[in-house]
A = this chain, B = another copy of it.
Amino acid sequence: MFAPLQNDTFLRACLHQATDHTPVWLMRQAGRYLPEYRATRAQAGSFMGLATNTDYATEVTLQPLERFPLDAAILFSDILTVPDAMGLGLSFALGEGPRFATPVRDEAAVARLQVPDMNKLRYVFDAVTSIRKALNGRVPLIGFSGSPWTLACYMVEGAGSDDYRLVKTMLYQRPDLLHKMLAINADSVATYLNAQIEAGAQAVMIFDSWGGVLADAAFHEFSLAYTKRVLAQLKREHEGVVIPRVVFTKGGGLWLDAMGQLDCDVLGLDWTVNLAQARARVGEPATSGAKAKALQGNLDPNVLFASPAQIEAEVVKTLNSFGQPHGDKTQPGATHIFNLGHGISQHTAPESVEALVAAVHSHSRKMRHAQP
């Protein structure tokens, strides 16, 4: 059904296999920093108009690949499509973040929640198949979802928040309600990601964007436990091919050891994490065995406001901080997937991304040649 994959660098790195260069892609690489994205979005009229239209979603997903030799594509969509399909009424006011018309704040609202009919998310699966065809085997396609906890944050708050007061009030006052919501979210996310895999996603990523706002004990109980519940239900393979899983908890560096135990292949890291230390703790198959994680990250997106030479220098620091890449092609090794530590800023100049991608490819090739 789909053309054979020409650049498998990203998928190999996910699975601890040696590559000729460090693969690179950027969170939110299809986005507002690109003038061609802004033009398509203007045509679509709204963010959801863009995300729900297969042709537009395909077009904007491929836009960054036309400009930069990125090693993966990521589905153009939003982390909040699942609660929207639950009937919460997602919208994006211009210049603001997402907003739900019907937030979930009491027992009655939680009682009404259920795993949504996946037909309501058909537009996402259609987009996955359409993008996969349009990619024509150039690079693999990553599907994604918000984590159960991150979805719950928006579902309760109704929008972004500074202090997560409403969802944390529920957490401390009515943990039973929150657990019920999180279980439904987890089962919904698993069903949703499996359908993306069926539709053509070659890897899946769970964005726990707000895991880092939780207290230590609460993170384990309300975020990590439900990420595990998603992972336990995910298809391991599709048509005989392994589907790597990436988990990214923004602000989750303190819980690296616990995340190292997850049944996933890759951990996303934000810029606060020291890559060398993370590699030593959870990245080495030689010491961690099958549980070892490929590491994805973790440049501060604000580096992209510096000059091309400064961007190159920071890329080199990040690559060197991870250290010598995996050399032995016969054994699993520690692997790094270059990314930002968070989504790219809308204020970024496209030329800065060009400098970043070129620096990742050229320096990571040099590092490999420098190996004994």
Residues of A within 8 A of B (CB): 163-165, 168-169, 171-173, 212, 214-219, 251, 253-254, 271-274, 298-303, 305-307, 310, 314, 317, 321, 341, 345, 347
A271 engages B215 (CB within 8 Å): yes
A164 engages B272 (CB within 8 Å): no
Query: Which of B168, B215, B251, B300 lies in contact with A251, CB distance below 8 A?
Result: B251
A300 engages B215 (CB within 8 Å): yes
A212 engages B165 (CB within 8 Å): no
Query: Which of B169, B212, B253, B274 lies in contact with A302, CB distance below 8 A?
Result: B169
Chain A interface helix/strand/loop/mixed: helix
Known contacts A163-B345, A251-B251, A345-B165; A217 and B317 CB within 8 A of each other = yes
B172 engages A314 (CB within 8 Å): yes
B165 engages A272 (CB within 8 Å): no
Known contacts A218-B300, A300-B168, A341-B215; A173 and B271 CB within 8 A of each other = no
* Nearest CB of chain B from residue A156's CB, rounded to whole Å: 12
B164 engages A302 (CB within 8 Å): yes
Contacts of A218 in B (CB 8 A): 300
* Nearest CB of chain B from residue A108's CB, rounded to whole Å: 20
Known contacts A169-B305, A302-B169, A305-B169; A272 and B215 CB within 8 A of each other = yes
CA–CA, A274 to B321, complex, Å? 26
* Nearest CB of chain B from residue A348's CB, rounded to whole Å: 10
B172 engages A305 (CB within 8 Å): yes
CA–CA, A356 to B217, complex, Å? 19
Instruction: Among A164, A298, A300, find the residue whose CB has the most chain B CB atoms closer than 10 A.
Output: A300
Known contacts A165-B345, A302-B165; A172 and B272 CB within 8 A of each other = no
